[in-house]
């Protein structure tokens, strides 16, 4: 990708949402405060609360550029694939609708791609940025999954499970992604490593929420991630063209 200044670079932000009526509007409005050219795409994964109506209202007001509705709940990974397919920007990033991640971190994360140093940039919650103090075992689980992923990918990431992964759109759209739930984080990391992507990592802030506040990931997703680390790293897809070439 040729070097471009930040105002010239359009960043597509995909906002997957399942029953996030309490926070999704605030998350989208925070995005619109950024000094970046954004395309913001909301993906409603068959929510049963008012999420769908809120997203439609934000699109009618011009705050969201596009809204995609899944008729049945398919999972975060499936919602992201729908958003990626609709994205037209030069860089794609995911913004969770739950306000755990601060959009104010995105301009700094974009810089290594903007200056031609990176194909993908991970925002790490474990590199010293400010964060809300919460669950010890979540921390242990995240670090363990990152370590195991690194052993297969030969990367030295500190936070494989982070939501903030900015990726060049031309690269991301070539990756053969199939995970429907939270296995997306494992899969996209494996595919980026297999594609030989240049990956950078920068610190971000993190305001995790409790289960009472709506957190959805459980220990079952952690066990599933162990399976996905083996599956996506040891059994890459074959016969899918030139997706490994940058």
**Closest by CA position to 121, among listed 167, 152, 87, 162:** 167
Q: Give 152-189 pLDDT, tens digit per residue.
A: 999 999 999 999 999 999 999 999 999 998 799 999 99
Q: List the domain boundaries for the chain.
A: 6-234
Give me the pLDDT at residue 121, please: 98
Give a three-class secondary structure readout of 38-90. Answer: EEEEEEECCCCCCHHHHHHHHHHCCCCCEEEECCCCCCHHHHHHHHHHHCCCC
Q: What is the pLDDT of residue 217?
A: 63
Which CATH superfamily does the domain covering 6-234 fall into? Answer: Spore Coat Polysaccharide Biosynthesis Protein SpsA; Chain A (3.90.550.10)
Which pTM value belongs to this model? 0.88
Quickly count: other Cβ atoms within 10 Å of residue 135's Cβ. Answer: 13
Flag residues of the chain having pLDDT under 50. Answer: 1-6, 133, 209-214, 246
- Residue 245 confidence (pLDDT): 56
CA atoms of 239 and 125, how far apart (whole Å):
36
pLDDT, the chain, mean:
88
Q: Give the pLDDT score at 140.
A: 80
């Amino acid at each position: 990708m040729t070097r471009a200044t930040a105002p010239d670079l359009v960043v597509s932000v995909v906002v997957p949402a399942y029953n996030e009526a309490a926070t999704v509007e605030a998350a989208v409005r925070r995005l619109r405060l950024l000094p970046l050219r954004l395309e913001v795409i909301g993906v409603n994964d068959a929510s049963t609360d008012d999420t769908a109506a809120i997203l439609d209202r934000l699109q009618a007001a011009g705050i969201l550029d596009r809204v995609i509705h899944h008729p049945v709940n398919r999972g975060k990974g499936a919602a992201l694939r729908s958003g990626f397919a609709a994205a037209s920007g030069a860089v794609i990033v995911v913004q969770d609708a739950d306000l755990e991640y601060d959009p104010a971190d995105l301009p700094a994360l974009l810089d290594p791609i903007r200056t031609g140093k990176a194909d993908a940039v991970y925002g790490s919650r474990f590199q010293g940025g400010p964060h809300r103090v919460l669950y010890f075992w979540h921390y242990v689980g995240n670090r363990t999954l990152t370590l195991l992923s690194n052993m297969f990918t030969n990367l030295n990431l500190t936070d494989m499970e982070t939501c903030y992964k900015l990726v060049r759109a031309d690269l991301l759209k070539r990756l053969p992604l199939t995970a429907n739930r939270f296995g997306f984080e494992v899969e996209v990391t494996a595919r980026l490593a297999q594609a030989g992507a240049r990956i950078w990592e920068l610190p971000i802030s993190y305001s995790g929420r409790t289960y009472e506040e709506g957190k959805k990931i459980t220990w079952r997703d952690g066990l599933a991630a162990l399976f996905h680390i083996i599956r996506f790293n040891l059994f890459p897809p074959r016969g899918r063209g030139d997706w490994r070439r940058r």
